[in-house]
Chain A
Amino acid sequence: MHVPDGFLDATTSTGTAVVAAAGVALALRGARRELDERTAPMAGLTAAFVFAVQMMNFPVAFGTSGHLMGGALTAILVGPWTAVLCLTVVLMVQALVFADGGLTALGTNVTLIGLVAIAVGYGVFRALRAVLPATRTGLLTSAGVGAFLSVPAAALVFVLLFGLGGVADVALGSVGIAMVGVHLLIGLGEAVITVAVLGAVLRVRPDLVRGARHLRRASALAPRPSLAGATAVDVR
């Protein structure tokens, strides 16, 4: 659900563009801590994954299907700063190549889907992870709640922006309730898909889930090194 051009006035769009640029600048520094000089290829491939998985339709309920937005999932998998970069890049490609989301609204979309959804999703995840027991169930619960809340939070900020610089005179309260209500349902789908995907990765390669580092126990076998393990270079 990307905001197109014309929804918000020029002043609000400029304001969100400044917020988005500042957020992305911070993320560029933060991602260097998460990935050092591997930032470009790793974040690029993760962005390609996010883009591809958004094309995948999951059954949600009552015969309807939805797709993942992926902010919370990406943040838990690769870290919040890298996730902001991935989502930003995906939104740029969607706006430039598919005209999905307006060009003047790119800052708004990055702020909502990149910054707000990831900050809320990952923040809730971290807070719950600290409280819940350090088990697989605890981790998946925190991830599910984080993903669930990230969607209505983004919708709520959109309603606030619409109140600030929207082009229509609507009763903000009723629109807010409607938007948040619809997005609570969408958030439910997001949570279910996030937990399913995260559970699958945890089962196969728990070392790749950045948000699950505290679960790794000392094992008899040395963990697979992240870089030095590969000798043959297979590139496409």
Chain B
Amino acid sequence: MGAGHGGGLSAAYVPGDSPVHRLAPHTKLVAVLAFALVVVATPVGAGWAAVAYAGFLLLLLTVAAVARVRPGRLLRGLVVEVPFVLFAVLLPFVSRGPRTDVLGLSLSESGLAAGGSILAKATLSVLAATLLAATTDARALLRGLERLRLPTVLVQILSFMIRYTDVVGGELRRMRVARESRGFRGRHLGALKVLGPAAGSLFIRSYERGERVHLAMLSRGYTGRLPGGPVAVVGGRAWATALSLPLAAVAVLAAGSLLG
């Protein structure tokens, strides 16, 4: 049960006009996914792994500086991994293998390496995804997924979800304001008698809204496909710019395995 996503979908995007913002969304998606793959592929036990992680972090901070995304925004993105930090901290205690003494505690060496690498890898890819979300708004991400040949129906479902999340979330907020202005305090199990029906009526309202939206679409000539705009051609130079991040990460990895 991760942290909540307060502020709706638009809160993640930081408007701007940097070179990173201007890149075509599907090139950015491919770049971030490739970067995450390189980070995950870094061997756990290697002695140079820590240096590689530092190199990856340096790459991400460079992109953040070019995109003018503030460090505070990046740090806030890290909140989502809090539950897994606990798991990683436990690993040195529960892992098998030779043990070592740290501050009087008997810890497993392999567990320490695994816990540390899980933390480093998760942090690096959360930072990369936060950069993606900060420089690409939800609509652009959707266009990017469409260019990457995600099934049309899935793209349409995503587009409806993104379009209506703020509406449905707004209804939820208004219901909460109404409840609390009547003196409701949901701190014990009895509150379920109030919150259950609230969530239930939220479902009914969402479902009925879906029916109305569908009728409106039919009356405007919907046949199962949404019309798309012209597709801009993305040249090799734009791809090269976007892919410079994962390629640099591969270079770090290669340098580590050759020199280390």
Q: Return B83 CB to nearest CB of chain A, in Å.
A: 6
A97 touches B207 (CB 8 A): no
Whether A45 pairs with B111 at a CB distance below 8 angstroms is no
* Cα–Cα distance between A99 and B192 once the two chains are bound (Å): 30
Note all chain A residues with C-beta closer than 8 A to B154: 24, 28, 85, 88-89
**Chain A residue nearest in CB terms to B207:** A208
Expressed in whole angstroms, the Cα–Cα distance for A81 and B167 within the complex equals 25
Indicate if the CB atoms of A93 and B158 lie closer than 8 Å: yes
Residues of chain A contacted by B201 (CB below 8 angstroms)? 200, 204
Would you call B129 and A6 a contact (CB within 8 A)?
Answer: no
The answer to whether B122 and A4 have CB atoms under 8 Å apart is: yes
User: Which stretch of B63-71, B181-189, B229-237 is in the interface?
Assistant: B181-189
Does B27 count as interface, using CB distance less than 8 angstroms?
no
Q: A85-B157, A104-B40 are in contact. Are A49 and B206 (CB under 8 A)?
A: yes
What is the 8 Å Cβ interface bit string for chain B, positions 111-149, against chain A (1 contact, 0 not)?
100110110111011111110110000100100000000
Q: Which residues of A contact B187 (CB under 8 A)?
A: 59, 63
Is A61 close to B, CB under 8 A? yes
Chain A residues touching B, majority SS: helix
Question: Do residues A4 and B126 form an inter-chain contact, with CB atoms below 8 A?
Answer: yes
Chain B 178-212: CB-based contact to A (< 8 A → 1; otherwise 0): 00000000111101110111111111101101111
Q: Is the CB of A92 within 8 A of B158?
A: yes
Contact A52:B213 (CB < 8 A) given known A4-B81, A93-B162: no
Question: Can you list 11 A-B pairs with a CB-CB distance of less than 8 A?
Answer: A38-B210, A47-B160, A59-B188, A61-B189, A102-B122, A196-B192, A204-B200, A204-B201, A208-B207, A230-B211, A235-B212
Binding site for B on A (CB under 8 A): 1-2, 4-7, 9-10, 13, 24-25, 28, 31, 37-49, 51-61, 63, 66-69, 77-78, 85-86, 88-90, 92-104, 167-171, 174-175, 186, 192-193, 195-201, 203-205, 208, 226-227, 230, 233-236
Seed contacts A7-B118, A56-B195; 12 additional CB < 8 Å A-B pairs: A6-B117, A28-B151, A38-B211, A38-B214, A41-B210, A41-B214, A53-B202, A89-B154, A96-B129, A102-B125, A167-B114, A197-B200
